[in-house]
C-alpha cells in the first residue's frame, strides 16, 4: 500500500499511519520549498520453524530493500491476534430479540484517525456482495452463510464490514464493526433479487436454440458487464486501502466469466490495486457444489444443433462453467487469498479468510525512488536475527502514475510507456468490437471499432477547454513466436468542444475505427486512449481469434455479422480526418465502406425505435465452380416466441474473387418492434450445397 505524503522541507511531519493527503500551504507570503514523500506500508507475518508467531521484534530486526536499494524503516507496529477462542452461546444474538438497524449506505470506508488504536490487534473482514453476479437463489445462500458466520463463528477480535454492488456504485452498508446484532440486522434488511444477476451468457455450442440462449439484463449493454463488476471490485479495494492493517475481502459471486470479448486490462488493474492497497480477495462461489446434466437442466432450453450429438455442446457447457470459476481463482491467487469453489458450506470460505490472518507486523518506510513511473518495485524483507524464520509479505507494488500536464515530447514518451506497463490504467471506459472478413485464401481484413462514453470527455469543457485531443496507441501480438508484435497503431483525433458539442458528449459516445490485415490465428490486442486535456487514460486488452474459414466443411463459412445504426460519409468521419488520402485504398479493402459511406458497427448493440438496423455479413462459397444462390433472413425472438422476421432475400450475385464472396445486407426499420431486449438471429441457407449457417446476438431496442 503506497500513499503520497507531502512534507515541508526543514519541518518534516511524521504520521504513524500516513493518512494525510494534500499540499501543505504556507499562511504567509514568504516562499517555501516542499517535497513529496511516498510512504509505503508493508504487513509482514513472521513465524519460526515450528510455525509459531515470533513476537517482540523491532524495526532494527528487519532488513528491507526496494529494487535492491536498502530502505530505512521508520516505524514497526506489532498486531497481536490471539489463537481462536470458542464462541459461547451468550455471545450469539437471539433471533427473537434482534433489533432492526436500517442501513444508511455510504461511499467510503472511514479512515483510521491519526494516533488512534481503533484497529490495533483486530482482524478486518469485508463482506462484498456482488448482487449483479448472484441470482436470487444464490443471494439467499450467500446472505445465510454470512449470518451463520456472524452468529456462531465470529471471533471477539473480528471486525466485519458489509459492502454491496448492485449495478450502480459500491455501497458501504456497514463500516467495520464488532456489533453482531447490528451486522445481522444489516444482512437481514438486504433485498434479495437486487441487481437481477445480469451475468453474460456464452455464445457457443452450449447455447440454447432460438431465444433461450441470451438472458442479459439491460445493464449488460451498458458497455460491458464483466468490466463493471471488476471495476466495482477495484473501487472496493481502494476503499479498504485507506487502512494500514491487513484486509480480507470475502467476495460472494456465482462465477465471473472473463472471455475474449472482455477487457483483460480491467482484471489486471483490479488485482494490482488490491495488491497496492494490501487487500486479499477470498471469492466464494455461492452456487456451491454443482452437478450439471450433460446438456443442461430444466431451466435451460435445448441446444438444437449438431453439437448435441457430437459431444460439442456438453464439452462447451463444462468449459463455460470452469471459465466462470477461473477468474475467481485468479483474483484469489494473485492477491494472496483462496477461492472456495464447489463446496456447499459457504461459511468455510469465510473461516479460511479469518484464519489466514494471524499476528503480524506493520512496517512503514519512505521510498527513496520518488519517480511516478508506474513501474513495478520489488521488495525484499529478511530477519537478520533469525535467518530460519518464515516471512510472509507482499513481494512488491506498482508505483503511482502521473501522465497529465507534460510537454509534447513528454506526453508522447509517457503514452508509449503506458502501453508497456504491466499495471493497466483504466481511468477512461473503453469498449471495442473486433470483426473479420476474408479477402483471399490467406488474408483477412479486421475492422476494429472503439467506443468511449462521451460524458467522460465532457470534463474538459467544464475546465474551459475549447477542444480536446484524444490520442490513440495500440499494438496487436500473435501467439506464434513468443507473442511478437505483428502490427501497431498511432493516431489522434481533435474534437471541438462548443457548448452544444459538450452537451451532446454527455449523452453520446465517441467512436473511433481502424482496420488491419491479418492471417488466421490467435491474437492479443492492447489499445490505449488518452484525453490530452484532462490527462485521463483508458486501456483495453483482449484476446481474439481469426478463424481459418478455408477449413470449414460442414457449415457455410460466414464472416463476422455487423449490426449498426450508422452510415457515415467518409468526408465527415472525424476518426479519419487525417487520412483522406487513404480513402480510396480503404474503400477497396474495407467491406464496410461502400459508395463513399462507412458502416459503423454498434459495439453495445443498443438501438432506438426511430432508427434503422443495418445488418451486414459475408458468406463464402470456396471451392464451388461458380457462385450459387443463397437465401437469408433475420428474425427477432423474445424468449421462445418469434416477434418479427424479415422476408427471405435471394442473393444471386457475388464478388468475382477466389473465395467467391457473397455479401448480404439488410435494412430493417425498428419501429415495428416494441422496446425491450431481443435475440437477433441471422440465418443463411445454401440450397444447392445443402449447407446452412446461423448467428445469434442480444440486442436492445429503446423507445
Which pLDDT belongs to residue 36?
Answer: 57
Is 469 a residue whose pLDDT tops 90? no
> Which residue, among 203, 163, 165, 213, has the nearest Cα to 183 in the 3D structure?
163
- Check: CB of residue 394 under 8 Å from CB of residue 40: no
Mean pLDDT lowest among 247-261, 373-387, 486-500, 563-577: 563-577
Which pLDDT belongs to residue 7?
Answer: 28
612-620 vs 62-66, strand pairing mode: unpaired
Is 8 a residue whose pLDDT tops 70? no
123-130 vs 73-79, strand pairing mode: unpaired
CATH 3.40.50.410 domain residues, the chain: 98-107+121-204+214-291+325-344
Mean pLDDT of 207-211: 37
Q: DSSP state, 421?
A: -
Which pLDDT belongs to residue 23?
Answer: 29
CATH 2.60.40.10 domain residues, the chain: 551-703
CA distances from 287 to 46, 207, 339 (A): 36, 20, 13
Q: Give the residue with greater pLDDT, 482 vs 625.
A: 625
Helix (H, G, I), strand (E, B) or coil at 325: helix
- Check: CB of residue 340 under 8 Å from CB of residue 282: yes
Is 200 a residue whose pLDDT tops 60? no
Q: Share the mean pLDDT of the chain.
A: 77
Is 161 a residue whose pLDDT tops 60? yes
Q: How far is residue 116's CA from residue 16's CA, in Å, rounded to a whole number? A: 9
Classify each residue of 349-358 as buried b or exposed e, where b means 16 or more C-beta atoms within 10 Å of its C-beta: bbebbbebbb
Which pLDDT belongs to residue 422?
Answer: 76
Write out 240-286 in H/E/C secondary structure.
HCCCCCCEEEEEEECCCCCCCCCCHHHHHHHHHHHHHHCEEEEEEEC
- Check: CB of residue 189 under 8 Å from CB of residue 137: no
- pLDDT-derived band at 507, boundaries 50, 70, 90: low
- pLDDT-derived band at 649, boundaries 50, 70, 90: very high
Mean pLDDT of 675-699: 89
Which pLDDT belongs to residue 346?
Answer: 92
- The fraction of the chain above a pLDDT of 90, given in percent, is 21
Q: How far is residue 58's CA from residue 450's CA, in Å, rounded to a whole number? A: 53
Mean pLDDT lowest among 49-63, 240-254, 460-474, 603-617: 460-474
CATH number of 551-703: 2.60.40.10
Residues 35-48 have pLDDT tens digits of 556 888 898 989 88
Our CA angle for 506, 511, 517, nearest 5°, is 165
Q: DSSP state, 558?
A: B
Which pLDDT belongs to residue 466?
Answer: 66
Burial environment of residue 311 by CB neighbours within 10 A (0 to 12, 13 to 18, 19 or more): exposed
pTM of the model: 0.61
Mean pLDDT of 191-198: 56
Report CA dihedral (503, 505, 506, 512) to the nearest 10 degrees. 170
Is 512 a residue whose pLDDT tops 90? no
CATH 2.60.40.3880 domain residues, the chain: 404-547
> Which residue, among 557, 623, 604, has the nearest Cα to 700 in the 3D structure?
604
- Check: CB of residue 23 under 8 Å from CB of residue 355: no
Which pLDDT belongs to residue 213?
Answer: 26
Mean pLDDT lowest among 22-36, 112-126, 467-481: 22-36
- The fraction of the chain above a pLDDT of 70, given in percent, is 73
- Check: CB of residue 7 under 8 Å from CB of residue 34: yes
Is 225 a residue whose pLDDT tops 80? no
Top CATH class, 98-107+121-204+214-291+325-344: alpha beta
- Check: CB of residue 615 under 8 Å from CB of residue 661: no
Phi and psi torsions of 441, nearest 5°: -65, -20
Which pLDDT belongs to residue 183?
Answer: 92
- pLDDT-derived band at 212, boundaries 50, 70, 90: very low
Is 290 a residue whose pLDDT tops 70? yes
The CA-to-CA distance between both ends of the chain, in Å, stands at 47
- pLDDT-derived band at 478, boundaries 50, 70, 90: confident
Residue where the block lists cell 500551504: 25
Top CATH class, 404-547: mainly beta
Amino acid at each position: 500500500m503506497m500513499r503520497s505524503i507531502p512534507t515541508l522541507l526543514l519541518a518534516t511531519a511524521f504520521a504513524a499511519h500516513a493518512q494525510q493527503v494534500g499540499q501543505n500551504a504556507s499562511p504567509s507570503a514568504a516562499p517555501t520549498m516542499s517535497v513529496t514523500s511516498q510512504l509505503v506500508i508493508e504487513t509482514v507475518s513472521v513465524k519460526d520453524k515450528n510455525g509459531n508467531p515470533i513476537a517482540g521484534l523491532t524495526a532494527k530486526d528487519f532488513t528491507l530493500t526496494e529494487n535492491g536499494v536498502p530502505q530505512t524503516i521508520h516505524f514497526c507496529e506489532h498486531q497481536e491476534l490471539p489463537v481462536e477462542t470458542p464462541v459461547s452461546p451468550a455471545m450469539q444474538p437471539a433471533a427473537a430479540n434482534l433489533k432492526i438497524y436500517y442501513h444508511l449506505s455510504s461511499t467510503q470506508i472511514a479512515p483510521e484517525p491519526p494516533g488512534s488504536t481503533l484497529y490495533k490487534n483486530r482482524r478486518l473482514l469485508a463482506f462484498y456482495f456482488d448482487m449483479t453476479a448472484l441470482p436470487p437463489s444464490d443471494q439467499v445462500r450467500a446472505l445465510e452463510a454470512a449470518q451463520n458466520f456472524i452468529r456462531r463463528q465470529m471471533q471477539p477480535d473480528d471486525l466485519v464490514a458489509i459492502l454491496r454492488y448492485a449495478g450502480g456504485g459500491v455501497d458501504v452498508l456497514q463500516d467495520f464493526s464488532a456489533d453482531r446484532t447490528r451486522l445481522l440486522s444489516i444482512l437481514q434488511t438486504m433485498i434479495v433479487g437486487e441487481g437481477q444477476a445480469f451475468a453474460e451468457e456464452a455464445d457457443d455450442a452450449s447455447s440454447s436454440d432460438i431465444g433461450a440462449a441470451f438472458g442479459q439484463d439491460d445493464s449488460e449493454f451498458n458497455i460491458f458487464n464483466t468490466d463493471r463488476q471488476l471495476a466495482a471490485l477495484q473501487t472496493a479495494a481502494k476503499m479498504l486501502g485507506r487502512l494500514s492493517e491487513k484486509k480480507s475481502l470475502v467476495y460472494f459471486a456465482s462465477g465471473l466469466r472473463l472471455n475474449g470479448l472482455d477487457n483483460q486490462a480491467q482484471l489486471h488493474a483490479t488485482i494490482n490495486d488490491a495488491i497496492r492497497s494490501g487487500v486479499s480477495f477470498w471469492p466464494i462461489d455461492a452456487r456451491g457444489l454443482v452437478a450439471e446434466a450433460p446438456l443442461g437442466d430444466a431451466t435451460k432450453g435445448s441446444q438444437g444443433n449438431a453439437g448435441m450429438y457430437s459431444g460439442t455442446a456438453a464439452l462447451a457447457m463444462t468449459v463455460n462453467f470452469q471459465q466462470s470459476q477461473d477468474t475467481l481463482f485468479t483474483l484469489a491467487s494473485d492477491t494472496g487469498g483462496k477461492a472456495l469453489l464447489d463446496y456447499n458450506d459457504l461459511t468455510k470460505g469465510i473461516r479460511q479468510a479469518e484464519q489466514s490472518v494471524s499476528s503480524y507486523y506493520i512496517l512503514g518506510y519512505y521510498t527513496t525512488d520518488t519517480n511516478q513511473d508506474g513501474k513495478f518495485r520489488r521488495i525484499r524483507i529478511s530477519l537478520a536475527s533469525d535467518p530460519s524464520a518464515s516471512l510472509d509479505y507482499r513481494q512488491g507494488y506498482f508505483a503511482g502514475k502521473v501522465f497529465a500536464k507534460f510537454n509534447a515530447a513528454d506526453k508522447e514518451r509517457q503514452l508509449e510507456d503506458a502501453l508497456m506497463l504491466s499495471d493497466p490504467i483504466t481511468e477512461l471506459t473503453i469498449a471495442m468490437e473486433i470483426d473479420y472478413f476474408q479477402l483471399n485464401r490467406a488474408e483477412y481484413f479486421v475492422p476494429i471499432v472503439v467506443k468511449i462514453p462521451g460524458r467522460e470527455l465532457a470534463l474538459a469543457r467544464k475546465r474551459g477547454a475549447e477542444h480536446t485531443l484524444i490520442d490513440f496507441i495500440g499494438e496487436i501480438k500473435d501467439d506464434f513466436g513468443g507473442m511478437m508484435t505483428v502490427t501497431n497503431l498511432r493516431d489522434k483525433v481533435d474534437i471541438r468542444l462548443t457548448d452544444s458539442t459538450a452537451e451532446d458528449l454527455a449523452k453520446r459516445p465517441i467512436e473511433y475505427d481502424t482496420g488491419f490485415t491479418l492471417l488466421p490465428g490467435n491474437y492479443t490486442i492492447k489499445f490505449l486512449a488518452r484525453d490530452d486535456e484532462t490527462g485521463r487514460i483508458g486501456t483495453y486488452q483482449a484476446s481474439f481469434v481469426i478463424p481459418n474459414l478455408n477449413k470449414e466443411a460442414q457449415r457455410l463459412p460466414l464472416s463476422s455479422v455487423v449490426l449498426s445504426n450508422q452510415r457515415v460519409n467518409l468526408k465527415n468521419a472525424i476518426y479519419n480526418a487525417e487520412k483522406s488520402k487513404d480513402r480510396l485504398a480503404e474503400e477497396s479493402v474495407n467491406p464496410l465502406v461502400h459508395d463513399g459511406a462507412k458502416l459503423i458497427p454498434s459495439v453495445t448493440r443498443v438501438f432506438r425505435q426511430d432508427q434503422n438496423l443495418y445488418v451486414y455479413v459475408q458468406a463464402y462459397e470456396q471451392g464451388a465452380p461458380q457462385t450459387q444462390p443463397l437465401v437469408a433472413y433475420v428474425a427477432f425472438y423474445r424468449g421462445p416466441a418469434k416477434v418479427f422476421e424479415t422476408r427471405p432475400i435471394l442473393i444471386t450475385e457475388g464478388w468475382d474473387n477466389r473465395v467467391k464472396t457473397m455479401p448480404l445486407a439488410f435494412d430493417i426499420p425498428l419501429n415495428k418492434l416494441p422496446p425491450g431486449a431481443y435475440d437477433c438471429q441471422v440465418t443463411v441457407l445454401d440450397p444447392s450445397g445443402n449447407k446452412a449457417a446461423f448467428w445469434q446476438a442480444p440486442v436492445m431496442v429503446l423507445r
